[in-house]
Amino acid sequence: MASNPSSSAAGGGGDHGGARLEDLALDKVAEAADAVAAASSAGEVVRAIHAVAAIVFPVDSATVAGTVDEPFRSQIINGVSLSSDERGSWRHAFCHGPAFPTLSKILLGHVALKWLHQIRACARKEICDSFFVKGSPTEVIQALVPALSHKLLVATEQAAMELAADEDANGLDPSNSVFLFVGEVISRASRRGSTGILGAELIPRIRSHLKRCMESDHKTISPDKIKHVSQFWFNVVEAIRDQHSVERLAEEMLRQLASQHTSDEEAYWILWTLFNQSFMHKTVFEFIHIGSSVSGMLHLSVKEKVLLRAMFVDKFLRWKTFPLCCLRWILHYAVFELPPNSGIETQKQRTSSFLGTLQTLVSVWSKKEFVQAYSVEQQACIL
């Protein structure tokens, strides 16, 4: 039998009351997890997640109920109703205890991969998006990034393979729902000033990713291996539809890598892993919302814009002030488009855009404004 939130539970005072409420919140998540695992329809999943969302955030239960059939509709409508103060107590216990990271894994794992594309957009907005959009940015990022684990990656790829093998499928790839959902959460966290937390969580995981691409000497990274590993991180970045968020993430990654005394080669391949898919294709996906749901499926239109190149070359090299090592990394990645340890023969194979980019930079670097704005050390590095 599902436990019912009560005024006495929400009103428990002191450390004892907070700890008890955290335990009760975790119990509610466990009930939802069991229901999701046993679900045979999207309606069961909606009812299970709504039972948790309704005690944590203001939820339009009528809207959610309107997306499912009986008996789930009546169960949602007749669910527990809490006062604003009671809900605030539950939200604090939920977001700052073990309940939130536990539910995050469920939403980003089983729900996102199997059910998200079957849940109506208005319901997703009420019962799924709220956990990541209205929660504390620190807790959101610390729960979100670890959930982007190898297990999720394998499950995402498996879902895509199953869809491709299903001749009767309608072409809606469940994995797209995951990446679009994650991309929007990252965008919102970035806009709320949490890029520092995001960078701190991402860098160790990208490093772990790169270790699987090492040569047998365990000293250098194999370009062939890294180009044939999963497209997971490419997909995550391409799902971030807000270009400003991508820019803030890239800048934060550069500064954190510099503070960690990262080697030139490792920094190059970290940038490559996150941004090269979009950079090399020279395209950007413009996302047009259907409705207002964060996780709503989006139409994609592709335009030939070199936004990532413009970000690294035009903004970072021309107008922003970075540590010297960052300038080296940007030059290798965005101008030379070669890793720092490339041989002479490889360096001769410049891309067609190299000379044009170099001419543009030289024209900017030679201007009086540049000389006045940049330190002598940075000018010496560039020259």
> Given pLDDT bands bounded at 50, 70 and 90, which one contains residue 202?
confident
Distant-in-sequence contacts of 346-355, Cβ < 8 A, 24+ apart? 353/309
The DSSP code sequence of 25-50 is HHHHHHHHHHHHHH-SSHHHHHHHHH
> Given pLDDT bands bounded at 50, 70 and 90, which one contains residue 205?
confident
Q: What angle do CA 93, 94, 98 make, to 5 degrees?
A: 100
Cα radius of gyration (the chain) = 24
Distance CA 201, CA 182 (A): 14
Tens-place pLDDT, residues 124-161: 888 887 777 776 666 766 666 666 554 455 554 455 44
Measured from the Cβ of residue 201, the count of other Cβ atoms closer than 10 Å reads 17
Rounded percentage of the chain residues whose pLDDT exceeds 70: 60
Report the pLDDT value the prediction gives residue 46, as an integer from 0 to 100.
Answer: 95
Which of 113-117, 182-186, 296-300 bottoms out in mean pLDDT, i.e. has the lowest? 296-300
Q: In this structure, are residues 53 and 126 in contact, taking their beta carbons and an 8 Å threshold?
A: yes
> Given pLDDT bands bounded at 50, 70 and 90, which one contains residue 199?
confident
Its pTM stands at 0.62
User: Is 73's pLDDT higher than 80?
Assistant: yes
Distance CA 51, CA 62 (A): 13
3 state SS of 227? helix
Domain chopping of the chain, boundaries: 1-134, 136-352
> Given pLDDT bands bounded at 50, 70 and 90, which one contains residue 272?
confident
Question: Of all helices (H) and strands (E), which one includes residue 299?
Answer: strand 299-303
Question: How much is the mean pLDDT over the chain?
Answer: 73
Report the pLDDT value the prediction gives residue 284, as an integer from 0 to 100.
Answer: 38
Which of 201-215, 291-305, 316-330 bottoms out in mean pLDDT, i.e. has the lowest? 291-305
Measured from the Cβ of residue 199, the count of other Cβ atoms closer than 10 Å reads 21
Supply 35's token pair.
Answer: 């229901």
